[in-house]
Chain A
Amino acid sequence: MPEDARVAPAAPTSPPAVAGGAGVGAGRAQPPGKTKPPRLPGESRWVAALFIFPAGIWLAAIVLYPLVYTLIRSLFHDGPVGQATSFAGIQNYIDIFTQSDSFEAFKNNVIWVVVVPALVTILGLIFAVLTERIRWASAFKIIVFTPMAISFLAAGITWSLIYVDQPSQGLGNAVLTGIHDTVSPSAAYPNLHPSTQVTLLDGSSAKGYTTKKQYAAGAPAALPFTGLDLLHPPSNAQPAAQPSGKGLTGVVWNDFKAGGGGTPGKVDPGELGVPGVTVQALQGGKVVGSTTTQPDGAFSFPGLTSGSYTLELPASDFSAAYTGVSWLGPTLITPAIIIAYLWIYAGFAMVLLAAGMAALPRETMEAARIDGATEWQVFRRVTMPLLSPVLLVVFVTMVINVLKIFDIVFVMQQPAGGNARYANVLAVQLYDEYGNQQYGAASAVGILLVILVIPAMIFQIHNFRKSQ
């Protein structure tokens, strides 16, 4: 797939559409004219046919025959082991649009075709214009073009690693969580939750917890939590202790000790206190005191000696850690793959367009500038129209490339697991159906792809003819 595209970058030395037929069309080297040129001696139709014959056989065998056979096969139902059974008419084609997986594939292909060629062309144009004006333009070009030298397989794997969910592994989420945690630091105890056996607290990890009943000085509050990682407890945590002292007191502790046992709701030996948890005392809905727990989980409000208070443990200590976005999740997977694809192909477009721009007549632009046109006007009214043939070539090449997109999607679907279906494209659907020995259904997808790519092909061939 990328190979045919990679041939193109060789063209910049003589972009066919711009340079206007320099050095192409060796086969039509005869001078133009209405009258047939006289046949040279020894040059007979038979000889010509003889020379074309091997290539003709070859083409018929590896292009024509498979195409016709695929077309025929697509009109038959599939047996269990891949044999064609009864005539199906266009049922296999209808199925593409009625089955959810293949329709998803079709839908995604449409997204690819609508979005990617335009983006690639625009990005390439921006880079090409930029390289006209900066120092170190060659270095810049090399850097942007480098991804073209990487196979889709390797690029897909690389980007899959960037998109890994865990911020500790995936660059994407590492950046996102880094930014997020700078703004709002993550909670100390995302896994800690109130004991399910003794329910003294209301609330959730997102809202924080409040006690159901009120506490007064002299009657210590024991607030049992569970879920502390017992193999790696906080380094400063000490065995929980029921506090003694003046005023309103209590303990926040992990009501679970290694090996189990103990009475739920009671501070048993071996159970750890939870240090550093913020505890607020509320009276009439107003915060009247705030403190944090000691290494043994104890907290106290020495000032609150009379009256009864509701205790609140704000969410900031418990809320689940922000872990970034699910890059390869249902909604983002196709955009995520498209970004990887742009990374590869922007350089390709840039090189073609930069070559095209280099070949533009400088005088026209100079004339426009002398006539008082702004840079934007020059770009919009002079450069763009002159460059449009190259823009079109890039665009159409990308349409063809994108229609048959397979490898990068296939590779990046692997780490997406159950979300892979949301990235499905027609070529992958074809491959899956082939794997299931549904050769009829697979053939139908193949033929559909051919039909979709034909207009772009015709345009491309037409364009080549014109340039010759």
Chain B
Amino acid sequence: MAPRRKFLCIAAAAVASSVAVAGCGGGSTPSSGGSPSGASSSSGSAGHNLDGQSFTILGQWTGGEQAAFEAVIKQFDDKTGATGHYTPAAGGNEAGVLGTKVAGGTPPDIAILSLPGAIAQYASSSKIFPVSTATQQVVGQNFASEWGKLGSYQGKMYCVPVDASNKSTVWYNNDLFKTAGISSTPQTWPDLIKDAKTLSASGVSVPVSVGGGDGWTLTDWFENVYLRTAGIAKYNQLTQHKIKWTDPSVAKALETLKQIWGDPQLIGSPAAAVKVPFTASVDNVFKANPTSAIVYEASFVATTITGDKDPAKVGVTAKVFPFPSIDGSGSVVEAAGDFGCAFTKNKAADQFLAYLAGPQAATTLVSTPGSGFLSVNKNVQSSSYNDPTSAQLAEQMVKVGNNFVFDMSDQTPAAFGGTPNKGEWGDLQQFLTNGNVQAAQQQLEKDAAAAYK
């Protein structure tokens, strides 16, 4: 950090640049080829190769997630001498803020994107830059290849995976299961319905809590059912709108969903369910006097439980089972995740991306209390997680390797799969209220056609 040292480096750089970089830089600079597990191997003052350089990061994390991410930035800064500034997008509208910044010619150095579709779009219009070979190697060493591909466009890697969530998890209140005498968690869709009915008989007024107020919870329901009734191939076709939403496979998935969504004994009044926001749907299951016993949503439900100070303890009262199999479907996982992408050719930013992809950053992310992050980084120890449930859910994702699908609505154009109460979100909310499969399919197809043009 000392100014004199920095001066020496610059002076040396003027004489012989490659030597200077090797001497003043850490092990992870592009020119040094990268060390086995990326930036993590370089340590101490020897890594101060970025003194005085700064970079900006735009994301949408706030609260515990922001704290964990800033801890990672601080570690990186301490190690390299760079200064990273993280800003959460105003109003939580990252796409809008980023879009205007990019259009206005002042993009952040790095933006955290959760939509692979956006990665491809920014890459195709050359708004983001490919990562260095060294960074690419770090990703290759730490992640299943499919995760690297999600950050790539036309064979070039642009973005590195940061965190992930397991979206094939159903959460339940173990106390209510015990009261109802349900000893083993449901393995199949009919089991789930049967258990929900038993819960209703045991006095749980709304056995299955559906957070229809936030349309994305409904898209996640649909995606898990579609993945199991139609298979991975069709799932990917529908994602790219290569088959239409009027396809019989969509009808089948909606009919299957209707077995639960259309039964007031299971989800209560649909008109009420369509107003329940996601956080309330979780609280209904884990609050002091729970009115529901089961809630489907991703691994980050754990964060909601702790964040909302629900009395249920994750892993004790709040437990989780994999989304049940339908018609004998095998075990498949739906995942989602965030990626770091470079919008400028900033050396510090590129090194930071390499650092993000390494196990040290991932470990900090998952171990910071209250962060709720999961990582699919193969080199993160299970013991790093704050609770065994998170560790188990992360492990599940690491174990399936490439055998997963990425959240469908996260891959579709935002106008279709990412706007509150509109497009797919709004159409599924409509379907939840009226249960009309055909009308839902037609509206979904109409909205998809308008958004994919």
Contacts and interface: CB of A to CB of B under 8 A. Distances in A.
A198 B212 CA distance: 33
Contacts, number: 131
Given A191-B203, A226-B202, A421-B426, A80 B121 contact: yes
Contact of B99 (A413, A421, A437): A437
Given A165-B272, A416-B275, A231 B203 contact: yes
Contact of B179 (A95, A259, A415): A259
B203 A260 contact: no
Contacts of A433: 415
Contact of B419 (A81, A82, A415, A432): A432
A322 interface: no
Interface in A364-416: 413, 415-416
A328 interface: yes
Nearest to B206: A191
Contact of B414 (A254, A259, A415, A437): A437
Contact of B274 (A101, A261, A418): A418
Given A421-B421, A437-B99, A228 B203 contact: yes
A329 interface: yes
Interface residues of B, number: 53
B179 A227 contact: no
A260 B275 CA distance: 32
Contact of B102 (A82, A419, A436): A82
B81 interface: no
User: At the interface, is chain B mostly helix, strand, loop or mixed?
Assistant: helix
B275 A81 contact: no
A81 B125 contact: yes
A259 B178 CA distance: 6
B276 interface: yes
A286 interface: no
Nearest to A164: B275
Contacts of B422: 101, 421, 432
Contacts of B265: 193
A435 B272 CA distance: 28
A212 to B, nearest CB: 20
Contacts of B419: 432, 435-436
Given A226-B202, A261-B181, A435-B96, A165 B275 contact: yes
A418 B269 CA distance: 14
A328 B271 CA distance: 11
Contacts of A103: none
Interface in B89-139: 93, 95-96, 99-100, 102-103, 117-118, 121-122, 124-125, 127
Interface of B: 93, 95-96, 99-100, 102-103, 117-118, 121-122, 124-125, 127, 178-182, 197-198, 200-203, 205, 212-215, 265, 271-272, 274-277, 289, 413-415, 418-422, 426, 429-430, 432-433, 443, 450
By Cβ-Cβ distance, the 3 closest A-B pairs, closest first, are: A260-B181, A417-B213, A418-B429
Given A82-B100, A226-B200, A437-B414, 20 more contacts: A79-B125, A81-B102, A165-B272, A196-B201, A229-B203, A256-B202, A260-B180, A326-B275, A413-B421, A415-B277, A417-B274, A418-B433, A419-B274, A420-B420, A432-B419, A435-B93, A435-B419, A436-B95, A436-B96, A438-B415
Interface of A: 79-83, 95, 99-101, 165, 191, 193, 195-196, 226-232, 254-256, 258-261, 326, 328-329, 413, 415-421, 432-439
8 contacts: A82-B102, A100-B443, A254-B203, A260-B182, A260-B202, A418-B212, A435-B419, A436-B95
